Amino acid sequence: MSRSGRLLRLMEFLRTKRRPVTAARLADELAVSERTIYRDVAELMAQGVPIEGGAGVGYMLRPGYFLPPLMFEREELEAIMLGLRYVDQRGDDVLRAAVSAARAKISAVLPQDAGVTLDFPLAMPGPPASSFPDNAVELDCLRGAIRAQRRLEIVYVDATGHRSQRVVWPVQIGFMDSARVLGAWCELRGAFRTFRTDRILSVVVGSRYPARRAELIRGLHEHLARSAYVQAADKI
């Protein structure tokens, strides 16, 4: 393996880890000596790659650093393009703009022969929904509350037309074929619930909720595993 290829592989390996990785582990992964790892890490840091740590502690790549997709396998690129096309069909204006930007960035760094996969992919998503119900609240407001881990005071109307006021801890937004839903912990019910975004009539952003979002995501997914998305949303 060339040194440039080894450096890219080293960065890619570190990118997948959330905790420091020792030089011994890295050396074993790349089939080189620990001394080589120390030299490679020093070279990457000199080039501005935000690697943190040191000998005896381990190394990790600072969160938020993205590598250019130069080493995608053909099947990996197919999977990415299928996902982007699915989001383009079902996402809102913000996500559709993000799809266009992401595709342009990927296209700019791919070798010329790999560009065929972008223009003529082997996989395609199913037919798009004819339309989505209009939302009274912008999805970007919900996204902002999720990122900031803020409570939301919402007015919600269910399938029968009954209105209720809720305080929820927003966790994720689900994009289905015919509706979008907000997955959240509901203080009123003391349980996870899903709320169709077109039935959220108003939102007031409140204080930070006292829970880790990673734990809430696990709980939400366990809840969803026991009930279908649409059924859960329609029964609220």
pLDDT by residue for the chain (236 residues), tens only, comes to 667 778 888 888 888 788 899 999 999 988 899 999 999 999 888 888 888 888 888 998 887 665 554 567 778 888 888 999 989 888 888 998 999 888 887 776 676 666 677 777 788 888 776 667 777 788 999 999 999 999 999 999 998 999 999 999 999 999 887 788 999 999 999 999 999 999 999 999 999 999 999 999 999 999 888 876 545 444 44
Boundaries of every domain in the chain? 3-61, 74-119, 139-234
pLDDT of residue 236: 46
pLDDT of residue 19: 87
CA distance 117 to 164: 49
**The pair of three-digit structure tokens given for residue 88, joined into one six-digit string:** 């383009």
Task: Yes or no: say if 227 and 184 are a contact pair by the CB < 8 Å rule.
Answer: no
Measuring CA to CA, which residue among 189, 179, 95, 88 is closest to residue 134? Answer: 179
* Local structure of 152: helix, strand or coil: strand
Structural fold of domain 139-234: SH3 type barrels. (2.30.30)
pLDDT of residue 65: 65
pLDDT of residue 148: 95
Question: Can you say whether the dihedral through the CA atoms of 71, 75, 89, 161 is positive or negative?
Answer: negative
**The pair of three-digit structure tokens given for residue 26, joined into one six-digit string:** 């890295």
Can you say whether residue 145 is alpha, beta or left, with left for phi > 0 and alpha for psi between -120 and 50 degrees?
alpha
Neighbours of 39 (CB within 10 A): 13
Structural fold of domain 3-61: Arc Repressor Mutant, subunit A (1.10.10)
